[in-house]
Structures are given as C-alpha cells and as structure tokens.
Amino acid sequence: MSPERHPSFLQLDRLAAGAGSSEVEAHVGGCPRCSGHLQRLSEPVGVPPWARALEKPPRSRWQLLALAGPALACAAALLLVLRSPPELREKGAPAVAVYVEHSGAVSLWDGHRAVSPGDRIRLEISAEGLTHVAVASQGAQGRWQRVFAGESPKMGPLPQSWRLDEAPGPEVLGIALSRGELDERRLSEVLRAATRDAQVWTTILTLPKESR
C-alpha cells in the first residue's frame, strides 16, 4: 500500500478490531491521519445506560390477534379514512406504514411516538412488485419469530393486526418483502443481514412502548 493511498476506514476499523492486514498495519505506522483514526477508536468508552438496558431479560411477544367479521370491517373503515401514508423511500421502492389504534382512535405512527399496552398495530405495505410479505417479532437473544406470511396485498393493510401486551421494553418488528415465500430460517437470515436487493427488501421497526 502506497503512502499516498490511504486504506479505507473499513480496513482501519478491522485492524482496530484485531482483524487487519499487515499491509494496513505498516501503512498506519507512518501515517498521522490513519493512526489518528485508530487512536480515536482506542479511547476508553463506558457502557451507557441505554446499552446496559439491552442486557435485561427478553421483551414481550406480540400477541397475535386475528380480526374477523365486524371487527375487521370496522378497522378497515377506520384505515380507509386516513390519508395515504408518508413516503418512506423514493418513488418505486417499497414502503411500510404503521397504523396504531389507541383508545378507539387510529393514527399513523410517526416513527418516534411511544405506543401503549393494549394498542393495536396494523401494517400497510407498498410492495412495489415484490409478491410476498412476512412479518416477524424479535424475541430472546435477537431471535425472530414469524407472526405473519402471505402474498403482498395489492392495496390496503395486511389482513392481520397485533395487540401489544404489558411486558416492558420496545416492540421490534421485522418486515420482509420478497419475490418468493421465505421460510422462517430464510426470514431470520434476511432480517439479520438487513437485506435490500432485487429479490428481498427488509426493514426493522422499533416502537417504544410506555409502561402502564
């Protein structure tokens, strides 16, 4: 590696994590810019409370709630009167909108607002040609549990909603749109990898939850 050509930050970060090449190491020895980056990485850091909280026991599970009959019709009617969800990605890319029913009122989740135990959650998908949708909730040790799988709706919300239980901690929901059905193992893989390519598009939603 020439002194004029710096290694990428990725190579430097791998070196800091103990997985760098001898070539990068040799470059860093004579380069103030790259050694300065490594110096910043090596400064001691304490584990803050928000990270410490990750050690707590597994969070709640989403309670599946199959809506049927009048309840479904009622929820669908509430959703239809809402304005279209805001565009989450560029035109032509998939998008997900989250509707929250709280004390009988339905609103579009803004990406930040906390939800409450007892609220009902519903997803509306803009699949942009991806034919299948799968939804998973995250549980112990980051494991994904599939809670819905089916063909992408041409229009409107998914035919299923979820009611939040009272367990503490945010609700983490993974959504995968794909050109074919994903089994549970594959669904976990694409969510772990945050895959977005021509075959699969994923997104992970973290909904803060107020305690009752």
Query: Helix or strand or coil: residue 173?
Result: strand
Binding mask 112-151 for other proteins (x = CB under 8 A): --------------------------x--xxx--------
Residue from 71, 56, 85, 106 nearest 156 by CA: 85
Residue from 150, 156, 147, 152 nearest 188 by CA: 147
Is 83 a binder of other proteins (CB under 8 A)?
Answer: no
Which of these ranges, 41-49, 76-84, 152-160, 179-187, lies near other proteins under the rule CB under 8 A? Answer: 41-49
At its nearest, how many Å lie between other proteins and the CB of residue 70? 36
Neighbouring CB atoms inside 10 A of 196's CB total: 15
Pick 67 or 189: Cβ nearer other proteins: 189
Is 90 a binder of other proteins (CB under 8 A)?
Answer: yes
Is 30 a binder of other proteins (CB under 8 A)?
Answer: no
Strand order from edge to edge, sheet including 95-102: 63-65, 157-163, 120-126, 95-102, 105-108
Residues in region 183-212 near other proteins by CB under 8 A = 191-197, 204, 206
Instruction: Indicate which single residue of 52, 129, 184, 208 sits in contact with other proteins (rule: CB under 8 A).
Output: 52
At its nearest, how many Å lie between other proteins and the CB of residue 82? 18
Pick 101 or 124: Cβ nearer other proteins: 124
Instruction: Indicate which single residue of 22, 43, 104, 105 sits in contact with other proteins (rule: CB under 8 A).
Output: 43
Residue from 90, 86, 126 nearest 109 by CA: 86
Pick 75 or 130: Cβ nearer other proteins: 130
Name the residues that contact other proteins, by CB under 8 A.
Answer: 4-11, 13-14, 16-19, 32-33, 36-37, 40-45, 47, 50-52, 54-55, 86-90, 92-93, 111, 138, 141-143, 172, 191-197, 204, 206
